[in-house]
Homo-oligomer: A and B are copies of this chain.
Amino acid sequence: MRLEMLVMAGALAGAVGGCKAEGPKARGGASPALEQLMKARNLTEANVKAALATYTPSGRHDEYYLFGSGGQSGQVVVIGLPSMRILKYIAVFTPEPWQGYGYGDTGSKKVLEGGRKRDKDITWADTHHPALSETNGDYDGQYLFINDKANARIAVVDLKDFSTRQIVSSNIIESNHGSTFVTPNTEYVIEGSQYPAPLGGEYADVKQFKEKYRGAVILWKFDRAQGRIDRAKSFAIELPPYMQDLADAGKKVSDGYLFLNSIDTELAYGGDMEGNVPLESGASKNDMDYLHVINWRKAEQVANAGKTRVIAGLRVITLQTAIDEKLLTFIPESKSPHGVDVTPDGTEMVVAGKLDTHATVYSFSKIKALIDAGKYETKDPYGVPVLSFKDSIRGQADLGLGPLHSQFDNKGNVYTSLFLESAIVKWSLKDLKVIEKVPCHYNVGHLAAAEGDTVDPDGKYLVAMNKWALDRFAPVGPLEPQNFQLIDISGDRMQVLYDLPIPLGEPHYAQIVKADKIHPIDIYPPDTDASTGAKSEFPVDDGKERIERKPDGVHIYMSAVRSHFTPDIIRVTEGDHVHLHIRSLEQAQDATHGFALDSYNISLSLEPGEHDDVDFIADRAGVFPMYCTEFCSALHLEMAGYFLVEPKGPKTAER
């Protein structure tokens, strides 16, 4: 400790040009406090460096936003870098009452209803891969897309107000994993299936796996002006049931193509109690699986030419059409691959296979030349042409145990997570040589680099998403947090700066964007329905609050402003259909009100300018307090009223 103190002190003394400058006063200054602090907290020089590299003083904003999937929470987590403060959980697939999402207002109810499957509500998700919208292959900060692996759905989050605007379910596939990824101008949002099933939800015995079960990749057309996916202009491509895994879109020279891994060319499907081998061994027999190369621009033409079959309302290019139209090509890849990552310049694809020690670098120009020349080595059992592995690659880098996912910097380096080694390896894309390894915490999964999935990575920070926390933090077991490690990659050597426990859900993948690209609004224009971003259909004018009985029920036009709801007493009769139209009259930043109604499971968040509609049957008689749930002023507790539901029959006996 004493030694570290000396080094540290020397370092700082050196930093300002030596000791001569210090007078007795400076030397006697704050030193005892600092010395005590370092001693008391037992900090090393490396700790001090890391502390200074991440500490972000009050009021100073972070340089980057990280948007991470919230894993099984069904939400998105937003983290500031380098402070590693969690800034927000955005409610996406799972109802969340603080944000008033799915707790009474008709707007968010509609968004959630978009995610119904087989006409049933699905109120959670297993989110894996967030994708920021791109313009010319660069994050543009406008939208975020996120998948639900468990139920094969995707959602659109508007970064103007960090709100979920749309959830779509194709109803043709049952799970996804290669999603979401976007094409370089967000023309399409890519959703690749994972566990095969008959397309469109029909039943077939799993013994007909090869014949009836299929994978698919869906290209969801994104209408940027509307900020919504346009189902009618979207289409899918049927694929063999190879358990497709992660995907990436080509960029620059490879724009127009997409790349998709697969993990089960063996066509294993388990059945341990039916005499089959378990999936995990059945799917690991072959030395090679298939990298799928898809020409999506050509597929778009084929779809728009009507060469599709409509399944569950979605246009599908059948596997045979995809083969006939030369949209789909396979290339062998090391077994059990996970990430396929296109290099920033778009010329190469890096594939890392968990059960192989190498990363393979595929050359887009070689692949393109082989496809154009029709030089196929063989065909798969479904008739899909297969290119030669060795003719498609530039080479392989021997990285270590369990390479999983790669990210890029601005200096030609690749960073690959080594799942089995619990390390991150930095290697040179040019000569395929390892430069450095840094140990990270147990079970590293994906990596996210600053602007790492774009044509122009920043090369500043890398975040390792480690799966287990074990005893890394004060225990909250048996269910422990995950552990995000922040790593400085700007210098010659990687430096682990910070360990962040993730308090909710297991983020699988994340993207990191420069903070100056994100411009959320502070307040809504007056009377905005936050679920659509448009003016409400039931406007409430200040001073014209009222209760109206109409043929369809009781309409209450209500306002909220510090510290009052108008009207503050609502009288209805048991069984009445109630339509609440509530507008926040606030136009000051952060002057949020909440609205809670006892016993009716209603919780709204009324941000400045926001308008919410609530539609319900007053099916319980009684006296129900309603009040503001966001501490808004000194008289916040008095921002309350009563919702009185008079019994329909004879009044209950007085006690």
B475:A522 contact, CB within 8 angstroms: yes
A245:B197 contact, CB within 8 angstroms: no
Of A227-235, A252-260, A298-306, A587-595, the segment with at least 4 beta carbons within 8 Å of chain B is A587-595
B203:A651 contact, CB within 8 angstroms: yes
B150:A521 contact, CB within 8 angstroms: no
Closest B-chain residue to A523, C-beta based? B478
**A378 in the interface, Cβ–Cβ < 8 Å?**
no
B9:A16 contact, CB within 8 angstroms: yes
Q: Give the contacts of A28-81 with B (CB-CB under 8 A).
A: 28-35, 37-38, 41, 43-45, 47-55, 57-59, 61-62, 65, 70-74, 77-78, 80
Most buried by B among A57, A206, A472, A652: A57
**A506 in the interface, Cβ–Cβ < 8 Å?**
yes
Contacts of A71 in B (CB 8 A): 98, 629
Complex: A404 Cα to B383 Cα, angstroms: 74
Q: Give the contacts of A574-592 with B (CB-CB under 8 A).
A: 589-590, 592
**A296 in the interface, Cβ–Cβ < 8 Å?**
no
**A376 in the interface, Cβ–Cβ < 8 Å?**
no
B5:A9 contact, CB within 8 angstroms: no
Given A10-B31, A71-B98, A203-B651, are A569 and B625 neighbors across the interface (CB < 8 Å)? no
Given A263-B638, A599-B120, are A87 and B474 neighbors across the interface (CB < 8 Å)? yes
Q: Which of B22, B280, B590 contacts A480 (CB 8 A)?
A: B590
**A624 in the interface, Cβ–Cβ < 8 Å?**
yes
B52:A26 contact, CB within 8 angstroms: no
Contacts of A319 in B (CB 8 A): none
Q: Mark A615-644, 1 if CB is under 8 A from B, else 0.
A: 000001111110101110011011111101
**A390 in the interface, Cβ–Cβ < 8 Å?**
no
Contacts of A32 in B (CB 8 A): 14-15
**A369 in the interface, Cβ–Cβ < 8 Å?**
no
Of A267-275, A326-334, A426-434, A451-459, the segment with at least 4 beta carbons within 8 Å of chain B is A267-275
A273:B470 contact, CB within 8 angstroms: no
Closest B-chain residue to A212, C-beta based? B654
**A499 in the interface, Cβ–Cβ < 8 Å?**
yes
A12:B26 contact, CB within 8 angstroms: no
Q: Which of B31, B52, B80, B97 contacts A43 (CB 8 A)?
A: B52
A88:B270 contact, CB within 8 angstroms: no
A38:B52 contact, CB within 8 angstroms: yes
Of A344-352, A360-368, A601-609, the segment with at least 4 beta carbons within 8 Å of chain B is A601-609
Given A474-B515, A564-B278, A635-B280, are A629 and B126 neighbors across the interface (CB < 8 Å)? yes
Contacts of A480 in B (CB 8 A): 589-590, 592
Closest B-chain residue to A71, C-beta based? B98
Q: Smallest distance from the beta carbon of A55 to chain B beta carbons, Å?
A: 3
| Interface size, A (range) | 35 or more
B644:A203 contact, CB within 8 angstroms: yes
Complex: A245 Cα to B636 Cα, angstroms: 13
**A438 in the interface, Cβ–Cβ < 8 Å?**
no
Given A126-B603, A203-B652, A271-B569, are A610 and B478 neighbors across the interface (CB < 8 Å)? yes
Contacts of A639 in B (CB 8 A): 279-280
Q: Which of B45, B445, B504, B641 contacts A88 (CB 8 A)?
A: B504
Contacts of A272 in B (CB 8 A): 564, 566-569
Closest B-chain residue to A50, C-beta based? B55
Complex: A504 Cα to B87 Cα, angstroms: 9
Complex: A590 Cα to B473 Cα, angstroms: 12
Q: Give the contacts of A190-210 with B (CB-CB under 8 A).
A: 194-195, 197-198, 200-206
Complex: A197 Cα to B645 Cα, angstroms: 12
Complex: A592 Cα to B420 Cα, angstroms: 17
Closest B-chain residue to A642, C-beta based? B206
**A534 in the interface, Cβ–Cβ < 8 Å?**
no
Given A280-B638, A646-B203, are A13 and B5 neighbors across the interface (CB < 8 Å)? no
Contacts of A545 in B (CB 8 A): 273
Q: Mark A402-433, 1 if CB is under 8 A from B, else 0.
A: 10000000000000000110000000000000
**A443 in the interface, Cβ–Cβ < 8 Å?**
yes
Complex: A588 Cα to B186 Cα, angstroms: 44
Given A599-B174, A607-B478, A638-B284, are A506 and B631 neighbors across the interface (CB < 8 Å)? yes
A86:B86 contact, CB within 8 angstroms: yes
B72:A594 contact, CB within 8 angstroms: yes
Q: Smallest distance from the beta carbon of A78 to chain B beta carbons, Å?
A: 6
A470:B625 contact, CB within 8 angstroms: no
Most buried by B among A33, A72, A121: A72
Q: Which of B5, B74, B420 contacts A97 (CB 8 A)?
A: B74
Contacts of A12 in B (CB 8 A): 8-9, 12-13, 31, 34-35
Closest B-chain residue to A639, C-beta based? B280
B13:A642 contact, CB within 8 angstroms: no
Q: Smallest distance from the beta carbon of A225 to chain B beta carbons, Å?
A: 22
Given A71-B98, A72-B629, are A80 and B474 neighbors across the interface (CB < 8 Å)? yes
Given A51-B55, A52-B51, A58-B496, are A15 and B11 neighbors across the interface (CB < 8 Å)? no
Contacts of A569 in B (CB 8 A): 206, 269-274
B503:A213 contact, CB within 8 angstroms: no
Q: Smallest distance from the beta carbon of A454 to chain B beta carbons, Å?
A: 19
Some 14 contacts from A to B, beta carbons below 8 A apart, are A8-B12, A14-B27, A15-B38, A95-B95, A121-B601, A174-B624, A195-B640, A197-B622, A206-B623, A206-B642, A271-B568, A278-B564, A279-B564, A280-B639
Known: A55-B55, A58-B499, A149-B629. 7 other contacts (CB 8 A): A71-B629, A87-B503, A151-B599, A195-B627, A195-B640, A198-B623, A279-B568
- Which 7 pairs show the lowest CB-CB distances between chains A and B? A19-B19, A10-B26, A51-B55, A15-B35, A14-B31, A97-B124, A195-B625
